Structures are given as structure tokens and as C-alpha cells.
């Protein structure tokens, strides 16, 4: 495996033995031996055995905070790519990918998860990576890092390299995927993957498997017919499904003002439980997602969680840039800063350790960029690999 894949998690564990579980055998995920998905063992941030005490233990909180900081470090590097550097041609063709392909760290259509880091790592803590299913959207960077994807995995997709564990360089960046972590790769079509997630949850229920499916979408996804179809199906069959809606409503207008109403009201009409939460507050998010996971595992049906946050990026929803004074006024609502203050006040994190985490994340991202840049691109003759199944001939 490339050296930088685990270094961000192993480095934290090496500095603090209390969080050595990140790379312990108990929490390692199995690997596949097929094709480009063979990556070795990934470290897991969220522990297998879930309990309130374990999810809020100091070592778990430190690990989740580290994933939040790592996600922000990756976003900053992608912003540099978009504004100051030239990325090499992507096999898919960047002109076909639209704005998402430019990887602007300031765009809602990019990998930017700024504002939602807290609720995303809380979701990772509430689930059992490698056992439960995760169907993310392109902005769920912190979530995917927290369940085991590495900065190198992200950069291999950015550069479209053959060793990209999600698609072998065939998909646009942000199409996260991992067989080991049960992260299901989806398309960029808003809301469509909710139907797929409902199907995964239905298969688990009829097969009698103890599995929860988390699907994430944004304020655009809930405006699609696919979202309503998937949620309606989940309610009709009481499926073990959690739908996390990541909504920038606090700075761009609440969706409840529109004619289609609140997604929580719609969810309850379809027979699911629903909660509206502060998506930038880790403890609130963890409590809500924990309740949703417990409900799903106890055959109590699905839950829609409407997580509200603020747009902390410099790009306004209607285009253009936001004034500096507006961004400064919102700085206190940054979920990473809120998590940092929580850990400092609790004595879980020291200021010196926080500075080292910031430097470590920047170093790991820089190493991942260079390793991905040097990795080979996909070969033309392998373009149809994993596209068509091989039908066994019977003589």
C-alpha cells in the first residue's frame, strides 16, 4: 500500500497511545483482492462496539477531531489547485464534469464539506464501519475520512489515477467508494442515490442482517422525485435507513419557506421519524444520529435528520464573493473551532497537540498530492474492466 494511506491515522496514534485503537486489529477492515480495489487494511476512526461512553471517550473524540481537521486541510489544498495551479487532464474529461471537476474548495458543487464536519464525523461514530452501509454525496469528505478513506485515496481520484480505490480513475472526484468500508459510490445526480440506499436497506431487512444504511444528501436532493420515492419506500417497509440532509439553510434561506415544506414534516408523513438539528454541534448531532441508529437496529424504522449549518465559504449562493465582514461574523459557528474549544475545555486536547495535528494534516496532504501526482494513469486497454460481468459458458 502507498505509504501515506495510513500515516495520518497512525501518526496520531503514535503521538498518543490512548488512541492506538485507530490501527488495532479489532477495528481493521477486511480488504478485497479484486482489481484496483485492493488497497490493504484501512484504519477505522469509529470503533466497532458502539455505546454512548465509547463514542464520547477521549480517544474517540480526538480521532474524530483529527478527521475534521484533515478534511479542512484537503479542502484548502484543492482550493489551491483550483485557483493557483493547473491540474493534469482527467481521464473522464473535466469539461464533462462541470464545476465539480475544478475541485473548488469554495463551491457547494465540489468536495467542500465546510460547515458540516461535525455532523459527518458524528455519523461515522454512530455507525459500524465495514458493517453498516454509507451512501454519501460528493460533499461528505469528513465522513469518508472518518470511516477509513485516506487523503491519498482522495488525491488519487482528484488526479484520476489507476490506483484510485473507488473507480480506478474512471469517476469524477467526489464519487467516494470503498468495498472494505461499505461506502457505496454514487453519481452526481441529486437525490437519485436515496432510492439505491432504500434498496440496500430493504435487502438487509428481508435477509435478516443487522445492518443500518446511511444516505446523505443536500438541500437540492430533497427537491427530487427520487428522494420522495426512496423515503416513501423506507417508511412503507420500516427500513433501517437514516437519511442525513446537510442544509446550508442558516445562511441561504431555510427550505421550510418553500412550497414543498420541511423535509422532517414530509418524512413523518411517509412514516419515518424526523429531527432538525444544529449540524455544526458535534454533541447534538451524535445524540440524534445515535437515536436514529438505535431505532434502525431495533426494527423501529427509518429516520430523516435535517442538519442545518452556515455557509462558511467565500462563495455566495447566488454567485460572486461574500464580503469579509460577513465571513468574520460567521467564524464563531465553524464546527472545527467549536469542537476544538470543547476538547480544550474538557482537557482532552492540549493547545500544543492541536498545533501538531494541524501541521501533521498539512504534511500528510502534501505527501498524498505528490504520491498521487506520480502515480500512473489508467491504461486504455483496461477501460472496460469492471464494466461488464463475465458470463460463464456452459458446454
Strand ranges inside the chain, DSSP E: 133-135, 213-218, 241-247, 273-278, 303-308
| 388 falls within a domain | no
| 394 falls within a domain | no
Domain limits for position 126? 4-377
| 275 falls within a domain | yes
**Residue 377 CB partners (closer than 8 Å, separation 6+):** 91, 160, 161, 162, 169
| Domain harbouring 216, CATH code | 3.40.50.970
| 384 falls within a domain | no
Per-residue confidence in pLDDT tens, the chain, 395 aa: 333 434 445 444 444 433 333 333 333 333 333 333 333 223 333 333 344 566 778 999 999 999 999 999 999 998 888 777 766 666 665 444 443 444 433 333 456 788 999 999 999 999 998 999 999 998 999 999 999 999 999 999 988 898 888 888 888 788 898 989 999 998 777 788 999 999 999 999 999 999 999 999 988 888 889 999 999 999 999 999 999 999 976 555 555 455 567 899 999 999 999 999 999 999 999 999 999 999 999 999 999 999 999 888 766 665 567 778 877 777 788 999 999 999 999 999 999 999 999 999 999 999 999 999 999 988 888 777 777 777 666 65
- Tally the domains of the chain: 1
Give 27's Cβ-side CA count (13 Å radius). Answer: 23
| 69 falls within a domain | yes
Per-residue model confidence (pLDDT) at position 389: 74
Q: Which of 133, 114, 137 is nearest to 124 (CA)?
A: 133
φ, ψ at 99 (rounded to 5°)? -60, -30
| 386 falls within a domain | no
Q: Are the beta carbons of 143 and 216 closer than 8 angstroms?
A: yes
Distance between CA atoms of residues 324 and 80, nearest Å: 19
Distance between CA atoms of residues 65 and 57, nearest Å: 12
Angle, helices 282-297/335-346, rounded to nearest 10 degrees: 90
Amino acid at each position: 500500500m502507498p505509504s501515506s494511506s495510513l500515516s495520518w491515522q497512525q501518526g496520531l496514534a503514535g503521538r498518543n497511545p490512548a488512541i492506538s485503537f485507530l490501527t488495532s486489529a479489532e477495528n481493521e477492515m477486511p480488504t478485497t483482492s479484486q482489481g484496483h480495489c485492493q488497497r490493504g487494511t484501512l484504519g477505522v476512526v469509529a470503533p466497532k462496539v458502539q455505546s454512548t461512553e465509547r463514542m464520547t471517550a477521549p480517544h474517540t473524540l480526538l480521532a474524530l477531531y483529527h478527521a475534521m481537521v484533515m478534511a479542512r486541510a484537503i479542502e484548502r489544498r484543492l482550493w489551491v489547485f483550483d485557483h493557483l495551479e493547473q491540474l493534469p487532464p482527467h481521464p473522464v474529461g473535466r469539461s464533462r464534469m462541470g464545476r465539480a471537476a475544478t475541485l473548488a474548495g469554495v463551491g457547494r458543487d465540489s468536495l467542500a464539506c465546510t460547515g458540516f464536519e461535525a455532523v459527518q464525523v458524528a455519523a461515522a461514530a454512530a455507525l459500524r464501519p465495514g458493517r453498516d452501509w454509507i451512501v454519501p454525496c460528493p460533499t461528505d469528505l469528513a465522513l469518508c475520512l472518518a470511516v477509513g478513506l485516506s487523503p491519498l485515496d482522495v488525491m488519487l481520484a482528484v488526479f484520476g489515477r489507476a490506483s484510485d480505490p473507488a473507480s480506478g480513475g474512471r469517476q469524477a472526484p467526489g464519487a467516494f467508494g470503498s468495498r472494505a468500508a461499505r461506502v457505496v459510490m454514487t453519481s452526481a445526480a441529486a437525490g437519485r442515490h436515496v432510492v439505491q440506499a432504500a434498496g440496500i436497506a430493504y435487502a438487509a431487512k428481508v435477509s435478516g442482517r443487522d445492518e443500518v444504511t446511511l444516505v446523505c444528501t443536500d438541500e437540492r436532493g430533497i427537491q427530487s422525485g427520487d428522494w420522495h420515492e426512496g423515503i416513501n419506500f423506507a417508511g412503507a417497509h420500516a427500513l433501517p435507513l437514516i437519511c442525513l440532509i446537510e442544509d446550508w439553510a442558516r445562511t441561504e434561506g431555510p427550505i421550510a419557506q418553500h412550497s414543498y415544506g420541511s423535509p422532517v414534516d414530509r418524512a413523518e408523513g411517509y412514516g419515518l421519524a424526523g429531527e432538525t438539528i444544529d449540524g455544526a454541534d458535534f454533541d447534538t448531532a451524535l445524540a440524534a444520529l445515535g437515536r436514529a441508529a438505535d431505532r434502525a437496529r431495533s426494527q423501529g424504522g427509518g429516520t430523516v435528520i435535517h442538519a442545518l449549518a452556515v455557509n462558511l465559504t467565500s462563495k455566495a449562493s447566488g454567485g460572486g464573493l461574500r464580503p469579509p465582514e460577513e465571513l468574520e461574523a460567521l467564524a464563531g459557528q465553524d464546527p472545527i473551532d467549536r469542537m476544538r474549544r470543547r476538547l480544550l475545555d474538557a482537557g482532552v486536547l492540549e493547545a500544543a497537540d492541536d498545533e501538531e495535528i494541524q501541521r501533521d494534516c498539512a504534511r500528510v496532504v502534501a505527501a498524498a498530492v505528490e504520491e498521487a501526482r506520480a502515480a500512473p494513469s489508467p491504461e486504455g486497454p483496461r477501460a472496460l474492466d469492471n464494466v461488464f460481468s463475465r458470463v460463464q459458458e456452459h458446454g
